[in-house]
Homo-oligomer: A and B are copies of this chain.
Amino acid sequence: MAPRALDYESLNENVKKVQYAVRGELYLRASELQKEGKKIIFTNVGNPHALGQKPLTFPRQVVALCQAPFLLDDPNVGLLFPADAIAKAKHYLALTTGGLGAYSDSRGMPGVRKEVADFIERRDGYPSDPELIFLTDGASKGVMQILNTIIRGESDGVLVPVPQYPLYSAAISLFGGSLVPYYLEETENWGLDVNNLRQSVAQARYKGITVKAMVIINPGNPTGQCLSESNLREILRFCYQENLALLGDEVYQQNIYQDERPFISARKVMMGMGPPISKEVQLVSFHTVSKGYWGECGQRGGYFEMTNIPPKTVDEIYKVASVSLSPNVPAQIFMGLMVNPLKPGDISYEQFIRESKGVLESLRRRARMMTDGFNSCKNVICNFTEGAMYSFPQIKLPPKAIEAAKRAGKVPDVFYCLKLLEATGISTVPGSGFGQKDGVFHLRTTILPAEEEMPEIMDSFKKFNNEFMEQYDDRSGYSRM
C-alpha cells in the first residue's frame, strides 16, 4: 500500500529536520522516569513556577477579576481584592472589546500596545509607535512569525549565535532556510567578536547563501552573558554594512545578576547612533511575560516591536497574524501589567516590590551558587551567569567516556547528561542541543531550583561527576576530589 499522507515517509522534510533539544531525548527520558516514580528536578527549561516560584500577587488579582468580572458588582469583592487591583481590572476590561472571551485585534489590544510603547519610551528615551508593536502568545511565536516572513528558501541565511537557544535553529529548519552560525567565545566570557561575524557571512556567501538577518540573544541563552553598549554598537554597524535585519531576543532584560553591565536594548543603542543607522537598520525586538521576576510562562504572553520596517511589510505581518485571529487576551493583560507596574503610594506597591525583589535577589544568589558549584569540580569550567536564567558549564570529558558514549551510540554530552539524570534526577540539556565547538562539551541547566535546595542539588551533581570521572578517567585524583 502507498504511504498515507501522515505516514512518516510522506511528511514535510522540513518538519523532520527540526531539532529541539530543550524538550528532546533528555526531557522524554526524564518524563518516563517521573512516571516511574523517580523525583525529577526539571532544569531543562526556564520554567520558574514549575520549580516553586510563587506568582506575584497583584497581577494575578487583576487577571482573576478580569476573568470573573461579575465579582466587580459583588458587595464582598473588597474582602478578597484590594482597591487598586479592582481599579486596574476595570481599566483593562475597558480596553477589551467584550472581556477576556472576545478576540482582540490580531495585533493585540490597542490600549495595551500603547502601554508597551510608553514602557519602551521610558526605558530607552526614544518614542515608540504602538502601531509597530504586536502582542503574541509568548515571544517564541513572534520569533517564528518574523523568521517565516523573512525566509524564502534554503538560499536565505540567518546569522545565529553558537551556542544558541534552539528555537532559532528549529524555526529556520521548519521554514526551510539556512542557519549561518557565528561562534561566541567561551574564554572571552561568551563575548561576540565582529571579525567572527564577518567570516561567517563571507563563508555563507561563498556557498551562495544570501544572509538576510542576524539574531542576538541579550542577555544570552544558554550562555548568560550581557552585551556591552560598545559591542551592540559594533553589531549595529555590522548589520548596516552588511544589510542585515537585526532580531533582538531581549526576553531576559529584567534578569540581571551583576552591576557592571546593565541591560541596554538594541533599540536604544541604535537610536543613539543617529542616521544612517538609526534610520536604516531594520530591527525587531522581542519580549515576554515568561521571564523576568514574573515567570508567567504558562500564560503565553509576549510582544515584538518593529523599527524601520516599511508599512507594506507591517501590513503583511498583520495579515498573517490575523489568520490565527488573536493572541490570548489574559496574557495581553499580564503584558500591560508588566510594562506598567505599580507606583509608590499604590496600596499594593509595598507587597509587589517585596515579592519581585525577593525573586530577583534570590536568583542573583542562585546564579552565584551554581557557577561556584560547577567551578569547584576539577573537570568543569563555568562562566558566571551575568543575566538570563541558565548556567552553561563546560564539562571536560576524558577519552574513555567519549569512547563509551560512542559504543552506546550517543553524543558524548548526551551520554553524560543521561547518566546524570539517571543518577540524580537532574534533567539538563546537553550542550550539543545549543551548538558548541568541536570536541568541547557542555550542559545547560537553569538556575531556578529553590534556593534552599540548591546546595543539595550541587552536592548531588558533584558526587555524580566525581564518580563519572572516577569510572572514565584513568588519571588519579578524581576519586579523592
Contact = CB atoms under 8 A, between A and B. Distances in A.
A325 B138 contact: yes
A63 B52 contact: no
Interface string A302-323: 0000101110110010011011
Contacts of A294: 101
A348 to B, nearest CB: 13
A229 to B, nearest CB: 24
A38 to B, nearest CB: 15
A52 B297 contact: no
A6 interface: yes
- How many chain copies? 2
A106 interface: yes
A254 interface: no
Contacts of A76: 76, 79-80
A48 to B, nearest CB: 8
Contact of A328 (B31, B55, B243, B300): B300
Nearest to A141: B324
A12 to B, nearest CB: 5
A395 interface: no
Interface stretch (A117-125, A148-156, A180-188, A373-381): A148-156
A429 interface: no
Nearest to A171: B323
B55 A61 contact: no
Interface string A20-38: 1011100000010000000
A171 to B, nearest CB: 7
A357 interface: no
A159 B167 CA distance: 32
Given A101-B55, A312-B8, A320 B68 contact: no
A353 to B, nearest CB: 18
A148 B64 contact: no
A77 interface: yes
A5 interface: yes
A101 B20 contact: no
Contacts of A5: 150, 212-213, 243-245, 282
Nearest to A245: B5
A297 B310 contact: no
A296 interface: yes
B102 A297 contact: yes
Nearest to A281: B4
A174 B150 contact: no
A67 B4 CA distance: 43
A424 to B, nearest CB: 19
Interface stretch (A92-100, A410-418, A437-445): A92-100
A94 B38 CA distance: 19
Contacts of A260: none
A57 B80 contact: no
Given A5-B282, A12-B151, A22-B322, 14 more contacts: A4-B245, A4-B308, A6-B309, A7-B313, A10-B212, A12-B175, A50-B103, A67-B67, A74-B80, A100-B299, A103-B298, A140-B325, A298-B330, A328-B331
**CB-CB nearest 9 A-B residue pairs:** A298-B329, A49-B98, A49-B101, A64-B68, A50-B98, A5-B212, A23-B322, A5-B245, A300-B328
9 contacts: A5-B245, A5-B282, A7-B313, A45-B325, A64-B71, A101-B294, A141-B324, A170-B320, A297-B326
